[in-house]
């Protein structure tokens, strides 16, 4: 039995509402460990599935970066759909960055009872292209060959994309603790999403079964600035379900893993608790 299957079996046996955490690029499921513990304290059954072929830990990921290569948004979304389909109760889905995009894709498939998308990567129809977001994606998009590769970030690149709102010591600690290579394909898919009618980077924002959605944005996020998060919100609010957006002051893209993670988690819990 795989680790994901074990988590599903445990959640089903608990009888509790499941919450599925979806990580984004350059991170692993372990980035959600503190969140999972907090949500379980509050009465949820927490699951942190990996993307297909995710290594067990950061050391293994950095030793074998090739396992990340070639993963596409559609492939990963289908993988998480398979995990969710094994749950006996419709879950809360919480995602960060590309995990926030995936969470919205899953919600658009009618698979979530509540969705929280934190600093979510944009989908087709989200038009802003701020300079900071382009700079954050430059380590991948600067070389077309990276589409089929796994691409690590240097500390300086991680500092700009994730940890710009943090002190240097905390940024260095987060880089050492959490950063792993990531597939280049999703960034190329996002870059062309508004030019490709058949893109996998697509969210069904009008599905009447989407359920309540909260988008959380970090005020100082370079990777997914307010303009992108708010454009996603404007498309999502066409849905008849509750759709809200919150900006967390003085926080960057690392807001789920930095020392202030609990404030963001409590925001997610407060929203979720209104509907579950």
The answer to whether the beta carbons of residues 123 and 201 sit under 8 Å apart is yes
The domain limits of the chain are 3-273
Whether the predicted pLDDT of 1 surpasses 90: no
Whether the predicted pLDDT of 66 surpasses 90: yes
CA distance 211 to 120: 17
- pLDDT tens for residues 99-139? 999 999 999 999 999 999 999 999 999 999 999 999 999 99
The pTM (predicted TM-score) of the whole model is 0.97
CB atoms within 10 A of CB 185: 24
Q: Please, what is the Cα angle at 264 between 111 and 251, to 5 degrees?
A: 120
The answer to whether the beta carbons of residues 95 and 24 sit under 8 Å apart is yes
- pLDDT tens for residues 10-48? 999 999 999 999 999 999 999 999 999 999 999 999 999
Whether the predicted pLDDT of 146 surpasses 90: yes
User: What is residue 111's predicted lDDT score, i.e. its pLDDT?
Assistant: 98
* Count of H-run helices and E-run strands, the chain: 11, 8
- pLDDT tens for residues 203-213? 999 999 999 99
Half-sphere exposure of 57 (CA within 13 A, CB side): 3
The CATH architecture that domain 3-273 belongs to is: 3-Layer(aba) Sandwich (3.40)
For residue 5, the Cα-to-chain-centroid distance in whole angstroms is 20
- pLDDT tens for residues 157-200? 999 999 999 999 999 999 999 999 999 999 999 999 999 999 99
Largest CA distance in the chain: 48
Average pLDDT, the chain: 97
For residue 266, the Cα-to-chain-centroid distance in whole angstroms is 17
User: What is residue 24's predicted lDDT score, i.e. its pLDDT?
Assistant: 98
- pLDDT tens for residues 197-250? 999 999 999 999 999 999 999 999 999 999 999 999 999 999 999 999 999 999
DSSP 193: G
């Amino acid at each position: 039995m795989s680790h994901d299957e074990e988590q599903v079996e445990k959640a089903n046996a608990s009888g509790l509402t499941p919450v599925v955490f979806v990580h984004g690029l350059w991170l692993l499921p372990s980035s959600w460990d503190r969140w999972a513990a907090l949500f379980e304290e509050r009465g949820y059954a927490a699951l942190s599935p990996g993307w297909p072929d995710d290594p067990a830990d950061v050391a293994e990921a950095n030793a074998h970066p090739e396992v990340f290569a070639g993963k596409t948004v559609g492939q990963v979304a289908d993988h998480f759909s398979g995990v969710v389909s094994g749950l006996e109760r419709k879950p809360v889905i919480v995602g960060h960055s590309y995990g926030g995009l995936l969470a919205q894709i899953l919600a658009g498939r009618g698979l979530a009872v509540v969705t929280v998308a934190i600093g979510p990567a944009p989908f087709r129809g989200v038009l802003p292209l701020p300079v900071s977001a382009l700079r954050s994606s430059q380590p991948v998009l600067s070389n077309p060959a990276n589409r089929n590769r796994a691409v690590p970030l240097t500390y300086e690149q991680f500092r700009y994309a994730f940890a710009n709102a943090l002190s240097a010591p905390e940024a260095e600690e987060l880089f050492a603790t959490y950063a792993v290579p990531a597939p280049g394909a999703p960034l190329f898919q996002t870059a062309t999403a508004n030019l490709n009618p058949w893109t996998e980077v697509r969210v069904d924002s009008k599905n009447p079964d989407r359920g309540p959605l909260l988008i959380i944005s970090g005020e100082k996020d370079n990777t997914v600035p307010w303009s992108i998060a708010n454009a996603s919100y404007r498309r999502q609010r066409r849905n008849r379900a509750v759709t809200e957006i919150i900006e967390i002051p003085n926080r960057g893209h690392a807001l789920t893993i930095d020392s202030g993670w609990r404030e963001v988690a409590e925001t997610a819990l407060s929203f979720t608790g209104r509907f579950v």
